[in-house]
């Protein structure tokens, strides 16, 4: 973002680190890193082939044909290794990643299908796949460089550096394979998956602005998102394929609004499902920018991402807990682990202002307003479904009561109402579900470990 800064209605706001939407979308793809690696290795092979030709030519010019013959002997020995690599590498890639995909499928069935994106975004997975393919491609390219000419005076090139580079990539492939196996095994552990989801959710929080020197707890229902803006003069409908609103291109929207002299207000929230014709932007203070100026200003896909979606982390954590509480899985300890991270996330947001984000141009004029989930919406997302399914599990119930007590002590007074509401609903659910007085008393006792 070159010309967009952020303001809020109260206090001085630090500007967060904003990631490029393109960079974030490339992280959600699996083709970019292998493709880039193969292009890079092709360029490196061309350079190595050129250097091999220069070395042979310089030795021939100096009359040192014995050295050329020695290089040819070493290259012939390496040819056997390179041939073996080229024939075995693709089979190795197929077997390794087939087994890994089965493991990921098992993990998604036990936890939630949304954990598959962790595998897709994994840097070590992409690096391993990229290096494997690059090694295979390089071995094929090197085999084309070998000549049948045996006279050191007539040979034009000896692929010595190319073969050496192939062996280096093989060694790197073996190292990455060990790291990849370790990473995949960690992904099968639910604790690691929950930790990764929480880390992704906190990256979204880190990219949000926050107020300095003011009240740390600006309430969640403060005013209208259009407060302080010129009257609404029009709306822009979404044009494109139906899908989930993944993120908006802030820099492009700010630039379009500045050129038109208006303020744009995003109407759907990040993570909402939009169809053609859905109101996308409200325009304040003038005519709407042209569709050309607003082209590709939003990204719509088949599933939500963490890029600008504050609630997606809670959604995934709640899904993992719900899957654990289902009769098919019956794993309340995993649900407790999810609740641990839900409490951590809500505690971090408890004293942050959750008002709309206002982006300004270089002149300081507000040009874009983007909604943010309210505190009560986040609390409902975190606890509603888990509370409904957990009344028959004393371990989870005890952890939830401890979670409510901890959050009530951490958040400001004006944000306690939704927590108290869910605590009371959980109490009523346990009283309806658990018939025995002693069991109810046990279940209603707060415990941070559930049943330690």
Domain range list for the chain:
22-202, 312-443
Q: Which two tokens stand for residue 54?
A: 């220069």
In sequence order, what E strands does 30-146 have? Answer: none
Please give the pLDDT value at position 235. Answer: 92
Cβ-in-10-Å burial (0-12, 13-18, 19+) of 33 comes to buried
Please give the pLDDT value at position 209. Answer: 61
Mean pLDDT, the chain, rounded, equals: 84
Dihedral, CA of residue 425, residue 427, residue 429 and residue 430, to nearest 10: 160
Please give the pLDDT value at position 227. Answer: 73
> Do residues 402 and 342 touch, judged by C-beta distance below 8 A?
no
Please give the pLDDT value at position 17. Answer: 42
- Indicate the SS3 state at residue 165: helix
> Do residues 157 and 235 touch, judged by C-beta distance below 8 A?
no
Question: Which residues of the chain are under the pLDDT cut of 70?
Answer: 1-21, 209-226
Please give the pLDDT value at position 224. Answer: 63
pLDDT over 90, % of the chain? 40
Q: Which two tokens stand for residue 380?
A: 């409902």
- Indicate the SS3 state at residue 264: strand
Please give the pLDDT value at position 21. Answer: 64
> Do residues 359 and 256 touch, judged by C-beta distance below 8 A?
no
Please give the pLDDT value at position 4. Answer: 54
């Amino acid at each position: 973002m070159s010309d967009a800064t952020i303001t809020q209605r109260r206090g001085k706001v630090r500007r967060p680190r904003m990631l490029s939407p393109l960079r974030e979308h490339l992280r959600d793809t699996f083709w970019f890193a292998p493709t880039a690696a193969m292009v890079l290795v092709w360029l490196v092979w061309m350079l190595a082939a050129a250097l091999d030709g220069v070395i042979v030519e310089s030795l021939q010019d100096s009359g040192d044909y014995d050295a050329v013959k020695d290089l040819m002997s070493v290259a012939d020995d390496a040819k056997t290794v390179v041939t073996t690599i080229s024939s075995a590498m693709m089979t190795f890639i197929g077997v390794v990643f087939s087994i890994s995909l089965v493991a990921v499928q098992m993990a998604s069935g036990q936890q939630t299908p949304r954990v598959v994106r962790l595998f897709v975004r994994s840097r070590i997975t992409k690096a391993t796949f990229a290096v494997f393919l690059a090694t295979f491609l390089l071995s094929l390219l090197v085999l084309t460089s070998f000549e049948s000419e045996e006279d050191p005076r007539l040979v034009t090139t000896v692929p010595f550096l190319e073969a050496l580079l192939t062996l280096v990539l093989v060694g790197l492939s073996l190292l990455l394979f060990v790291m990849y196996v370790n990473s995949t095994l960690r992904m099968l552990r639910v604790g690691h998956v929950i930790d990764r989801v929480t880390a992704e959710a906190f990256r979204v929080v880190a990219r949000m602005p926050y107020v300095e020197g003011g009240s740390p707890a600006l309430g969640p229902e403060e005013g209208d998102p259009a407060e302080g803006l010129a009257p609404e003069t029009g709306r822009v409908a979404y044009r494109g394929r139906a899908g989930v609103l993944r993120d908006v291109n802030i820099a492009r929207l700010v630039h379009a609004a500045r050129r038109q002299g208006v303020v744009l207000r995003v109407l759907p929230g990040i993570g909402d499902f939009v169809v053609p014709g859905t109101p996308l932007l409200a325009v304040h203070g003038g005519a709407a920018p042209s569709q050309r100026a607003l082209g590709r200003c939003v990204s719509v896909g088949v599933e939500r991402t963490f890029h600008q979606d504050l609630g997606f982390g809670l959604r995934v954590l709640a899904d993992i807990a719900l899957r654990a509480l289902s009769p098919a899985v019956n794993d309340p300890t995993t649900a407790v682990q999810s609740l641990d991270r839900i409490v951590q996330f809500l505690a971090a947001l408890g004293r942050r202002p959750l008002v709309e984000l206002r982006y300004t141009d270089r002149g300081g004029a507000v040009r874009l307003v983007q909604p943010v989930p309210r505190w009560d919406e986040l609390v409902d997302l975190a606890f509603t479904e888990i509370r409904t399914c957990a009344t028959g599990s004393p371990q989870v119930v005890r952890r939830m009561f401890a979670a409510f007590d901890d959050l009530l002590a951490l958040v400001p007074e004006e944000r306690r109402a939704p927590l108290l509401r869910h605590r009371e609903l959980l109490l009523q659910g346990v009283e309806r579900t658990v018939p025995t007085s002693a069991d109810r008393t046990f279940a209603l006792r707060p415990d941070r470990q559930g049943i330690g």
